[in-house]
Each structure stands twice: as C-alpha cells, then as structure tokens.
C-alpha cells in the first residue's frame, strides 16, 4: 500500500501518509493536489490518456487497483439501465443470458474495446425498455430483499436481547432485595433462633437463584405472516405456470367394518333403538344434537369388528 | 475369550477383561441396534479401542447387511498406527479361534506425505509440497499430454496402479501405513491412491478426523463411503474445535497478495489458451450453461456425502451469467479481492454479521450474493479447464473462493471480525480478517445425517450433555463409565492454600502476586522431594509460565528444585519441545527423575502419555481458561448463548475443566499405573468446577482433600506413594477389576456391571 503514489508528482503514501489519490472515469490516478492544480478551470484532459475529464467527476480512490474503481463506476451506471430482475424472465436460462450480456457490456467499456458499438447498444436498450427500467428502479432483487430482511431480523434480535437482559437484571435485583428485606423482618419479629432463620434464608436464596435461571425464555420475533409467506417478499407478476395433469376423480370411500351392517340413521327410531337411550333435552338440541346421533355411533362401535378376519 | 453380549458372540483377544469394558460393549451394542448415535466416556487406559473394535467387528460379522463398514477416526498418525495394531491382534485371534482365514480388509489412510513411495516426491519435507508435486505428475491432463509427448514426466507407480490396480482388489488383511507402502513397492503401485481406492470396499478404515470433517478433504476422500457405516470419533473431547477450525477462514494481507498473483496468472493463462485452444474454454462454457447437473444427479442418488461448502441449492441451479465466461469470472475475482483489500485497511476492530458483509459488498463493488455462492465451484471448474498442474500454488485463491461461498451461503453461525493488529502487539499493523465459524454443527452435520451410527468417545467428555447440544444431534445412548480399581491408584488433591494460608489461584487479580507465585514454587519444591521419578506440571499459558519461572529463578526456588530433579520446559517450538520430552524421559529412566514444565492446551497436554514412572504426579497450576478477551471467543460465546442457551460461564468452565482433565489424565494410563493429580487452585473446590470433571476422577475426590495446604498435600502424597509402591500383581486385580470368563458370567458380577455405566 505504501508504494502507491501519484504518477505525476511522484509523491507516495510512504512519504506523505495523508496523500489522497483520486480517480476519474478513465481509470487513471492523480493525487488531490495535482487535481487541484490541473483542473483549476473545472475540466481538462487526463495526463495519461488524454481523455477529456471534469473535475467534479473525480472520486477518492477506494481500491488499490484504479481499474477496479473505474469498473465499479461503469458497472453502477450500466446497472442503472439494465435493472431487470429475475422475475422479469420466464426461465432462469434467459435471466442468466441477460446477466452475461450485462457483464459483456461492462467488460467492453472497462477495457475500451468496441466502446462505440456498446454505447449504441445500451442506448437502444434504454429506448426499448424505458418503462421496465422505470418500474424496476425502486425494486430490489430478491436476494437483496432477503438480505435486508436478515439485517432487520438481526437488529430486532439484538434490541430484544438487550431489553430482555436489562429486564432480567432488574427483576433479579428486585427479587433479591425483597428476599433480604424479608429476612430482616423475620429476624425482627420471629422468636425462632437466628441461626435457623439464617439457614432458611440461605435455602430460599438458592431457590431464588435456580428460579431465575429457569425463567429464561426466548421469544422469536415474527418474520412470517400467518400464511407462511415471508414479510416484505415480492410476489412475482409472472402468471403461474399451468400444470397439465389428469383431473382428479372422486371415488367414494369403502369402509370394511368386519361386522353386521349398521342400520341407517333415519331408521333408528323406527327399529326401536332409540327407546334405550336418553332422550335429548331441549338445551341439547339447540346445537343440532339428536339422540339418534349418539345411538348411531354407539351401534357402529359395537358392530364393527364382530366378525374377525380369517387368516 | 468369547463373550456373549446380549446374544452377540464377541471374540475378545485377551484372557481377561475389565468389567467396564464389558459394560462399554453392552452400551455400544445397544447404540448399533438402535441405529443411532452415541456419546460414551470411558477413562483412558481401560482399553477403549479394543472394546470398540471387537464389538463392532463382531457386529459386522453377525449382521453383514446392517453394518457394512467401520470408519474409525483418530487424531494423530501414531494413534492411527496403534489402532491398526490392536486390530491386527484381534484378527489373529479370530483366525486362531475359528481356524479359518477371514476375508476382512482393514487399512489405515493418511496423507500423501506419509504414503508416497516415489523417490523424488517422497523426499520433500512439507505435506503441501508433496501434494503439489504428486498432482503435477498424476493429473489427468498431464497424463494425456504424455501420449503426444513421451518425455513428459509421470509417476510410474500411479501409472501402474491405474493400469492394473483397480481391477485387482487389495487382498484381505490388515494394512497399516508401512504395510501399504511395502505392498505398493512390491507391486509397483502407488500406495496412496491404492488406499484411497480400497477404502470404498474395505471393512474397516482408520484415518484422521479431517478426512470426514474438513469439507475440502471429505469431498475428495470420503464422499462415496457407504451409508451403513459406523463412524467412531476417538479422543473426541476436542471435536467441536476441530469442526470450527475446518470451517473458519483467516485472511491476512499476505494471503491477498498471493491471491493477486494467482489471479494474474489465471488471466495470463486464459489469454494464452484463448489464442491457442479456444475450443476448450467454449466447451467449459457450454457445460456451465447446462449447470452442475452431474453433481446433482450423484447427490440425489445418494452416492455422496453432502458438502457444506457446496450447498444443495447450488446443484439445482446453473452458474449465474455474471461469472459464466472465464474473463468475467477473473474480473469478478479481482473486484472481490480489491474489496477485501480495502476492508483490511481498517484502523479499528470491526465485527459484523454475514448479511452486513454481503450488503456492504454489494454497495461497494456491486457483487451479488448468488455469484458469490458459486465462486468455489466456478474456480474449481476453471482450474480444471486451464489444466494448471501445480494446484498448491493456487491455495490462496482457493481459500478466498471458499470464503466467498461460505459467506454467501450461511447467514447464521458465522461472524466476520477484522482486526488491524494483534492484541499483544498493538503498534504493528498486521490486519487479519477472521471469518470464524461459531457453530460446530455445520461441519459435522453431513456426518450425522449420512451415517447410521456415529459414536463419540473419549476419556474426558464430561459433562456429557453439552456435546449433543453444541453439535446439534440426538444421541440414543449417553453413558459415562468409571474405572473399577483393585486399589485406588489415583489420588486427586485440591490444594487451595499455601503454608502461610494465602489462597492459591491463577485468577487474573493474583497473577502477579508474589505470595501466590512463591507458594506455587513451594508446592513444586516440596513435591519434587517426595515424588519419585517424573513430575509433569501444567500452567495455564505460555506467558504465565514464563512469568512464574522467571520469578522462581529470582527467588532461588528453581535452584532448590534442581537439587532434587532436573527441569525441562515445553516451548512453542515443536522441535525444541520434542527434544525436551526425549531428555525428560531419559532423565526419568535413570537418576532422581525430572520435572517437565508444560502448558495446558499445548502439544504435551494433548498427545503425550506419561506411563508409569514418566509421570508419577501431575500438578495443574491454575484453571486453564481460554484467553477470554479474544473477539472470536466472545462472538462464539454469544452465539452459544443465543442459539443453544448455554451460558458463557458454563461453556468457559466446561472448556477449562475438559482441558484440566485432559492434563491430569496423562498420568494414569492403565490400572497398574498410579499417580497423583494435584489441582493447585482453590477454585477447583467449588461444586460447579468439580462437577465438570469426569466421573472417574470426581469419585476419588473426598471432602477431606478439597482445600489442602501445601504441607497437608505433602503428607497425603507421601502416604499414597508409599502404599502404591508396594508390589502389585495381576492376581490382586483378578475378580475385582480384572475378570476371567467365569467370573464375568457370575450373577453378582453382572449385577455390579450394570451399575458401572452411568446413564445421563
């Protein structure tokens, strides 16, 4: 890091630790002083590649390799235009092809190959997809959303934990104080020898400690809606893929009871079964209960399994 | 002898068995029956390895369809060799008893450095060099080039192996590393590739932890191992740290510089290839457009162990368009690299979570999360396409790309800490980016998911319940076994005060206290007078040891100690330490013995055994807490608290006590061995510390030995040592702590045995 320096005035980081290196769009470095000197009028040409530059475009160099600075700059610009998300594509394959295309553009611009053509392509794309670009401006990619969500969770978790610890401490302190006060009161009023009281107190204090430990409980913050969908999740606008399958055919359930056939619910009273069960009281019938129901169930219970299966 | 363990016939190659071994096998069998995972603690020196091996081998023979393979993971090469020797003994016993040659194949696997037999390559000193050189001789495209250019050097061992070796399986038998090398020399095959190929159909594989836990290596070596395997992690008390280390990445300025060189080389190579052989790049491009389908199919069909660096969702998608072509990818790497460089230029410590990092990287250099996630995979593909021979040179850029993938994949369990300088040297700029894993379960998860039984075992796993929590799995058995002893051969003593009643402690406030240091010195001096042969003393850190020893020197204590015994010191230099160890053992063999001053968590405390007279007493000066001010540790503690509800103090104490137990456990390596364990810190007497020691040590701590003075300690030690020094024959143990088959089958013994296992 120390051998980095300004190519013009040859000052290095080693000799001047407060040296500030700046980078412009062409990816060539200059130190702050040189920038001030060369670009007094607000614009000028790069010392190394003669690209016309503006002073306002100079940024502090973040990385050791100035081309990376340049690339990041370009990339940010390109990504502003090429901001389609994965849910704008029908398949992952298409999305990946698109990503590669973006990457190609950035690569070309950074390495100064085929710049004119690439710029044209970008402009064309921008014209064609103006509304998509507008729409996606505020949206994050799904991955970023997940990240944001995680960060939020983490913050919440930290905050909650801090509060819990604080509360816990206070509660403990109070409990201990109370315990101590109780001991003093007892010593004052009771006729039992002090040694026994003290021993009792000791036991109680130990119990209190264990109680406090047991009280630890963790409350998880909610990150899900009750439907199971994550909060803040974007729902895709793509139509749901249709699933082509054979339609479901209902087949009535066949229950093998291994017993004599159970009389129908309606026939119970006719066959006299209901004479042997408690008649339904008016308050029972309010909820839709009839004595036939209970009777029917009891008969089912009794009849099933009467003829054990052979073998 | 032949044992019947709940209906399973187990051949045990010794005439006698310890009751706890029987109990251990019982628990192990239940674990295997349940096809679940287990945590088992048994004291060192009670024959864990042979119990494990004989039971699992018997199980494999009885139910060959249920358990097809045993994967035994150990830590060091000597330990691996030891396991193989035990196995050999067992197999000899089998063939002697059954009279038939069994077709068991068991082998050890280690790195190329330990297995290479190529005369030039094997003479290289560092593992990395060997790997790189080997790769430059055996890579597929190098060998393809040889067809057109016969002068291209290749490894003849590998060629031979590739031509014939794969068709002929390795004959059944037990192979340690040397056996493999011999076999390789005889046949002219490369032992390393032979072993790697053979583990796929071997019955037992013995290798290091890293082959399963380190995602980069596991992907190469272990991903095709059968699902119905039993995995054993021996000496697993440190397994969480191994997991964490294998997932963490540290990036320094030097890494970035080397990475810059790598990227430049990549770019040049791409340029060159573009001019000469553009078709190759086009072919790769076509492959990437179609996505990583190949790998995905393999994983779906469940052939491979999953890899935490290669998350599942990557396999289902194609490589994003932003990094599809080689130039774009190099540009991408360059941007990422510059971003990292700019981050390393900080003036103060920064700690942030992975989402924060990802947001920042998007704002600064417009890198999305998705391409980052594919970075490691994309780089591998590029390296393959460019046919770069010496992969070792590209370790820096591989590291960076792994970092990129991890950081974008896991939003939890990791933290990023950027420190502009080290804590100890705040004036020297040495920026480091720690991408530290805080959740050991991430690395070990694939293992638990894939294999039907995973057994974690060690001499010191107490408290047992913390391991399932931090590794995030559900064991079916958790048991701690005690040592049944014919005589109490261990004597743990807690020294809390000096003769002048000054409380002994290594806590921060009394670190510099002369009274404490003097009393510590006194303790060592007195012990050196009463204990015969070797004494090992452990300190909490190198710095603390230096301080104390300097102070002892000034006070003339060292001189007094040297009248009794020679003193050796462990240093941070490995060569020096092994020299000191060697001389220490020599001194113990003849003369009045010696004292070894070493450090908990150091090399000596982890891997070296002090059998019999090499360690008659272990003194633990202070409680070996980790350096608690480290930011990585703080972040991890916070994470443990939030995710697993383990309190900071609990974890710190747990960690300190497992290291203390590890240290003092060095002295007792068997039932005929005996030794003093002196804990010189009054904090050990507290229930929360004591309760975290392994049960087999805890049971011997009596209430009377909780807060001793130096004098009392000396009295007790004298008594203990005199008792222990009496002749002790095997007959004395028989029936109590050593059983014959008849004794084992007796009713009351079986009743006793059921009490040994302490279920939690």
* Beta-carbon contacts below 8 Å between A and B: 87
Q: Is residue B268 part of a domain?
A: yes
- If DSSP states are collapsed to H, E and C, what string results for B551-590? HHHHHCHHHHHHHHCEEEECCCCHHHHHHHHHHHHHHHHC
CB B717 within 8 A of CB B494: no
Residues of chain B whose C-beta is under 8 A from some C-beta in A?
Answer: 289, 317-322, 324-325, 327-328, 331, 334-335, 338-339, 341-342, 345, 353, 355-356, 358-359, 362, 364-366, 368-370, 411, 642, 645
Q: Which of A178, A155, A156, A158 is nearest to A166 (CA)?
A: A158
* Structure confidence at residue B310 (pLDDT): 62
- Which residue ranges make up each domain of chain A? 1-61
My answer on whether B274 and B255 are in the same domain is yes
Q: By three-state DSSP, how is residue A21 classified?
A: strand
- A-chain CB neighbours of B368 within 8 Å are 141, 143-144
* Structure confidence at residue A85 (pLDDT): 80
Closest-approach residue (CA) in chain B for A73? B365
My answer on whether B223 and B281 are in the same domain is no
Q: Is residue B169 part of a domain?
A: no
Binary contact (B322, A99; C-beta < 8 A)? yes
Binary contact (A72, B645; C-beta < 8 A)? no
Q: What gap in Å lies between CA B286 and CA B280, rounded to an integer?
A: 10
My answer on whether B217 and B329 are in the same domain is no
Question: Is the previous residue joined to B138 through a cis bond, with omega within 30 degrees of 0?
Answer: no
My answer on whether B528 and B470 are in the same domain is no
Closest CB to A147: pick one of B322, B359, B364.
B359
Closest-approach residue (CA) in chain A for B290? A93
Query: Which of A178-182, B138-142, B497-501, B549-553 is predicted with the least confidence, judged by mean pLDDT?
Result: B138-142
Q: What gap in Å lies between CA B39 and CA B453, rounded to an integer?
A: 11
pLDDT at A216 over 60: no
* Inter-CA distances, B81 with B86, B198, B205, B438, Å: 9, 18, 12, 32
Residues of chain A whose C-beta is under 8 A from some C-beta in B?
Answer: 1, 62-65, 68, 71-72, 75-76, 79, 92-93, 95-104, 107, 110, 141, 143-144, 146-148, 150-151, 154, 157, 161, 216, 218
Non-local CB neighbours of A134 within 8 Å, separated by 6+ positions? none
Q: By three-state DSSP, how is residue A33 classified?
A: helix
Q: Is residue B75 part of a domain?
A: yes
Q: Which of B664, B560, B561 is nearest to B619 (CA)?
A: B664
* Positive/negative CA dihedral, B388, B391, B393, B394: positive
Give the rounded percent of residues in chain B with a pLDDT score beyond 90: 32
* Structure confidence at residue A237 (pLDDT): 53
Closest-approach residue (CA) in chain A for B329? A103
Q: What gap in Å lies between CA B646 and CA B482, rounded to an integer?
A: 26
Strand B594-599: give its sheet, edge to edge: B490-495, B675-680, B617-621, B535-539, B594-599, B566-569
CATH number of B624's domain? 3.40.50.300
- A-chain CB neighbours of B359 within 8 Å are 144, 147-148, 151
Helix, strand, coil tally for chain B in percent (to 5):
55, 15, 30
Q: What gap in Å lies between CA B695 and CA B323, rounded to an integer?
A: 56
- If DSSP states are collapsed to H, E and C, what string results for B52-66? HHHHHHHHHHHCCCC
Q: What gap in Å lies between CA B687 and CA B669, rounded to an integer?
A: 26
Non-local CB neighbours of A152 within 8 Å, separated by 6+ positions? none
* Structure confidence at residue A258 (pLDDT): 85
Q: By three-state DSSP, how is residue B598 classified?
A: strand
Binary contact (B335, A71; C-beta < 8 A)? yes
My answer on whether B383 and B459 are in the same domain is no
Q: What gap in Å lies between CA B568 and CA B570, rounded to an integer?
A: 7
pLDDT at B284 over 70: yes
Counts of helices then strands in chain B (DSSP H, E): 36, 21
Average pLDDT over every residue of B417-440: 85
Average pLDDT over every residue of B330-336: 91
Residue with tokens 């081998």: B57
Per DSSP, the residues of A127-190 read: HHTHHHHHHHTTPPPHHHHHHHHHHHHHHHHHHHHHHHHHHHHHHHHHHHHHHHHHHHHHHHH-
Confidence of residue A48 (pLDDT cuts 50, 70, 90): confident
Beta strands B675-680 and B490-495: pairing type? parallel
Q: What gap in Å lies between CA B237 and CA B244, rounded to an integer?
A: 13
* Structure confidence at residue A149 (pLDDT): 84
My answer on whether B586 and B522 are in the same domain is yes
User: pLDDT, tens digit, for every residue of A148-187?
Assistant: 888 888 888 888 888 988 898 898 889 889 988 988 888 8
- B-chain CB neighbours of A93 within 8 Å are 289, 318
My answer on whether B495 and B480 are in the same domain is no
My answer on whether B526 and B398 are in the same domain is no
* Inter-CA distances, B250 with A245, B24, B65, B256, B374, Å: 53, 40, 44, 11, 20
Binary contact (A107, B327; C-beta < 8 A)? yes
Q: What gap in Å lies between CA B753 and CA B487, rounded to an integer?
A: 18
- A-chain CB neighbours of B334 within 8 Å are 65, 68
Phi, psi of B363 (to 5 degrees): -65, -40
Q: What gap in Å lies between CA B316 and CA B348, rounded to an integer?
A: 41
Confidence of residue A310 (pLDDT cuts 50, 70, 90): low
My answer on whether B232 and B259 are in the same domain is no
Binary contact (B339, A63; C-beta < 8 A)? yes
My answer on whether B381 and B254 are in the same domain is yes
Q: What gap in Å lies between CA B288 and CA B320, rounded to an integer?
A: 9
Confidence of residue B332 (pLDDT cuts 50, 70, 90): very high
Q: Is residue B743 part of a domain?
A: yes
User: pLDDT, tens digit, for every residue of A1-24?
Assistant: 456 788 888 888 888 888 888 888
Query: Which of B73-82, B287-296, B634-643 is predicted with the least confidence, judged by mean pLDDT?
Result: B287-296
Binary contact (A99, B321; C-beta < 8 A)? yes
DSSP label at residue A275: G
User: A1-61 has which fold?
Assistant: Herpes Virus-1 (3.30.40)
Closest CB to A103: pick one of B289, B322, B642.
B322
My answer on whether B534 and B511 are in the same domain is yes
Non-local CB neighbours of B349 within 8 Å, separated by 6+ positions? B417, B418, B419, B420, B631
- B-chain CB neighbours of A157 within 8 Å are 642
Closest CA–CA distance from residue B631 to any residue of chain A (Å)? 18
Could you tell me if the ipTM is greater than 0.85? no
Binary contact (B369, A218; C-beta < 8 A)? no
Cα-based angle B515, B520, B523 (whole degrees, multiple of 5): 125
Mutate to test the interface with A, among B365, B413, B416 (most CBs of A within 10 A): B365
Take residue A221 and report the two structure tokens written for it. Answer: 């913050």
Closest CB to B328: pick one of A103, A143, A147.
A103
Q: Is residue B342 part of a domain?
A: yes
Closest-approach residue (CA) in chain B for A2? B345
The rounded mean pLDDT for chain A is 81
User: pLDDT, tens digit, for every residue of B339-386?
Assistant: 999 998 888 888 888 888 998 998 888 888 888 888 888 888 888 788
User: pLDDT, tens digit, for every residue of B708-725?
Assistant: 999 999 999 999 999 998
Q: What gap in Å lies between CA B700 and CA B685, rounded to an integer?
A: 13
Q: Is residue B121 part of a domain?
A: no
Range of the domain at B273: 247-439
User: pLDDT, tens digit, for every residue of B196-224?
Assistant: 888 888 899 999 988 888 887 887 777 77
Strand partners, B418: B350, B433
Confidence of residue B316 (pLDDT cuts 50, 70, 90): low
Non-local CB neighbours of A9 within 8 Å, separated by 6+ positions? A31, A33, A34
* Structure confidence at residue B483 (pLDDT): 84
User: pLDDT, tens digit, for every residue of B481-534?
Assistant: 888 888 888 899 999 999 999 999 988 888 888 999 999 999 999 999 999 999
Closest CA–CA distance from residue B388 to any residue of chain A (Å)? 25
For chain B, the domain total comes to 3
pLDDT at B618 over 50: yes
Q: What gap in Å lies between CA B58 and CA B633, rounded to an integer?
A: 43
Q: Using alpha carbons only, how large is chain B's radius of gyration in Å?
A: 28
My answer on whether B742 and B602 are in the same domain is no
Q: Is residue B10 part of a domain?
A: yes
User: pLDDT, tens digit, for every residue of A283-309?
Assistant: 888 878 888 888 999 998 988 888 877
Q: By three-state DSSP, how is residue B88 classified?
A: helix
Closest CB to B321: pick one of A1, A96, A148.
A96
């Amino acid at each position: 890091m120390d051998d980095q320096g300004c190519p013009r005035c040859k000052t290095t980081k080693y000799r001047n630790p407060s040296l500030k290196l700046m980078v412009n769009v062409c990816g060539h470095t200059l130190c702050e002083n040189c920038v001030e000197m060369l670009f007094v009028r607000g614009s000028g040409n790069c010392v190394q590649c003669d690209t016309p530059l503006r002073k306002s475009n100079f940024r502090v160099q973040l990385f050791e390799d100035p081309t990376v600075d340049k690339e990041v700059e370009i990339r940010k610009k390109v990504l502003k235009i090429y901001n389609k998300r994965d849910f704008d594509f029908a398949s992952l394959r298409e999305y990946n092809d698109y990503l590669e295309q973006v990457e190609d553009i950035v690569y070309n611009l950074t390495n100064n190959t085929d710049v004119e053509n690439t710029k044209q392509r970008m402009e064309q794309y921008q014209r064609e997809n103006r509304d998509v670009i507008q729409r996606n401006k505020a949206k994050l990619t799904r991955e970023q959303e997940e990240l944001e969500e995680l960060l939020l969770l983490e913050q919440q978790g930290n905050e909650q934990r801090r509060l819990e610890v604080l509360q816990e401490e206070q509660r403990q302190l109070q409990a201990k104080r109370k315990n101590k006060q109780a001991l003093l009161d007892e010593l004052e009023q009771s006729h039992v020898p002090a040694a026994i009281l003290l021993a009792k107190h000791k036991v109680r204090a130990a119990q209190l400690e264990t109680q406090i430990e047991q009280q630890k409980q963790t409350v998880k913050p909610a990150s899900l809606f009750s439907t199971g969908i994550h909060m803040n999740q974007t729902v895709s606008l793509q139509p749901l893929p249709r699933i082509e399958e054979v339609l479901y055919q209902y087949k009535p359930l066949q229950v093998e009871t291994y017993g004599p056939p159970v009389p129908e619910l309606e026939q119970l009273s006719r066959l006299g079964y209901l004479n042997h069960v408690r008649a339904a009281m008016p308050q029972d019938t309010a909820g839709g209960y009839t004595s036939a129901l209970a009777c029917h169930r009891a008969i089912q219970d009794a009849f099933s399994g009467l003829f054990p299966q052979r073998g | 002898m032949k044992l019947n363990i709940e209906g399973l016939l187990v051949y045990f190659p010794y005439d006698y068995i310890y009751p706890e071994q029987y109990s251990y096998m019982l628990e192990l069998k239940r674990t295997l029956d349940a096809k679940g995972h287990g945590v088992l603690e048994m004291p060192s020196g009670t024959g864990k390895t042979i119990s494990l091996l004989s039971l699992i081998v018997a199980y494999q023979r009885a139910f060959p369809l249920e358990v097809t393979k045993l994967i035994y993971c150990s830590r060091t090469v000597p330990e691996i060799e030891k396991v193989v020797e035990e196995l050999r003994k067992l197999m000899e016993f089998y063939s002697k008893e059954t009279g038939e040659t069994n077709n068991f194949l068991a082998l050890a696997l280690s790195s190329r450095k330990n297995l290479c037999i190529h005369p030039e390559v094997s003479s290289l000193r560092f593992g990395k060099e060997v790997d790189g050189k080997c790769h430059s001789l055996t890579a597929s495209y190098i060998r393809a080039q040889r067809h057109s250019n016969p002068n291209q050097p290749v490894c003849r061992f590998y060629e031979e192996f590739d031509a014939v070796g794969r068709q002929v399986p390795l004959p059944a038998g037990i192979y340690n590393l040397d056996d493999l090398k011999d076999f390789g020399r005889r046949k002219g095959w490369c032992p390393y590739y032979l072993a790697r190929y053979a583990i796929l159909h071997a019955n037992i594989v013995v290798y290091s932890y890293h082959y399963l836990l380190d995602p980069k290596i596991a992907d190469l070596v272990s991903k095709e191992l059968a699902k119905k395997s039993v995995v054993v992690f021996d000496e697993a008390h440190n397994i969480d740290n191994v997991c964490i280390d294998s997932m963490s990445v540290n990036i320094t300025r030097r890494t970035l510089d080397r990475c810059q060189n790598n990227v430049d080389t990549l770019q040049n190579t791409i340029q060159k290839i573009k001019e000469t052989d553009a078709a190759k790049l086009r072919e790769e491009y076509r492959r990437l457009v179609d996505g990583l389908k190949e790998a995905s199919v393999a994983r779906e069909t469940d052939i491979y162990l999953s890899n935490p660096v290669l998350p599942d969702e990557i396999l289902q998608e194609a490589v994003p368009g932003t990094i599809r072509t080689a130039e774009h990818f190099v540009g991408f790497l360059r941007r990422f690299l510059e971003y990292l460089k700019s981050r390393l230029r900080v003036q103060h410590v920064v700690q942030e979570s992975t989402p924060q990092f990802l947001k920042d990287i998007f704002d600064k250099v417009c890198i999305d999360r998705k391409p980052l996630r594919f970075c490691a995979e994309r780089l591998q593909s590029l390296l393959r396409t460019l046919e770069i021979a010496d992969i070792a040179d590209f370790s820096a850029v591989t590291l960076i790309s792994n970092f990129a993938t991890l950081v974008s994949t896991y939003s939890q369990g990791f933290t990023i800490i950027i420190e502009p300088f080290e804590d100890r040297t705040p004036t020297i700029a040495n920026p480091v980016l720690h991408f530290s894993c805080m959740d050991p379960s991430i690395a070990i998860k694939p293992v638990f998911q894939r294999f039907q039984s995973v057994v974690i075992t060690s001499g010191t796993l107490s408290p047992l319940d913390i391991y399932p929590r931090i590794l995030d799995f559900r064991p079916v058995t958790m048991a701690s076994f005690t040592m049944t002893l014919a005589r109490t051969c261990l004597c743990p003593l807690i020294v809390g005060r000096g003769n002048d009643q000054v409380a002994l402690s290594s806590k921060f406030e009394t670190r510099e206290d002369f009274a404490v240091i003097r009393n510590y010195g006194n303790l060592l001096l007195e012990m050196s007078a009463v204990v015969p042969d070797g004494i090992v003393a452990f300190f909490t850190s190198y710095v603390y040891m230096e301080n104390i020893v300097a102070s002892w020197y000034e006070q003339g204590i060292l001189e007094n100690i040297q009248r009794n015994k020679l003193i050796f010191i462990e240093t941070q230099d490995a060569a020096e330490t092994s020299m000191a160890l060697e001389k220490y053992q020599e001194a113990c063999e003849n003369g009045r013995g010696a004292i070894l001053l070493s450090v908990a968590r150091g090399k000596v405390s982890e891997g070296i055994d002090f059998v019999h007279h090499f360690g008659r007493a272990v003194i633990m000066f202070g409680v070996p807490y980790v350096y608690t001010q480290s930011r990585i540790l703080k972040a991890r503690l916070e994470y443990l608290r939030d995710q697993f509800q383990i309190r900071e103090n609990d974890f710190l104490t747990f960690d300190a006590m497992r290291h203390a137990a590890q240290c003092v456990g060095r002295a007792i390596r068997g039932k005929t061995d005996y030794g003093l364990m002196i804990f010189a810190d009054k904090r050990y007497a507290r229930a929360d510390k004591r309760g975290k020691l392994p049960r087999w040590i805890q049971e011997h701590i009596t209430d009377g030995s909780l807060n001793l003075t130096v004098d009392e300690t000396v009295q007790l030690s004298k008594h203990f040592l005199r008792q222990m020094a009496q002749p002790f024959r095997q007959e004395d143990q028989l029936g109590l702590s050593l059983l014959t088959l008849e004794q084992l089958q007796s009713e009351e013994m079986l009743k006793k045995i059921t009490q040994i296992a302490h279920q939690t």
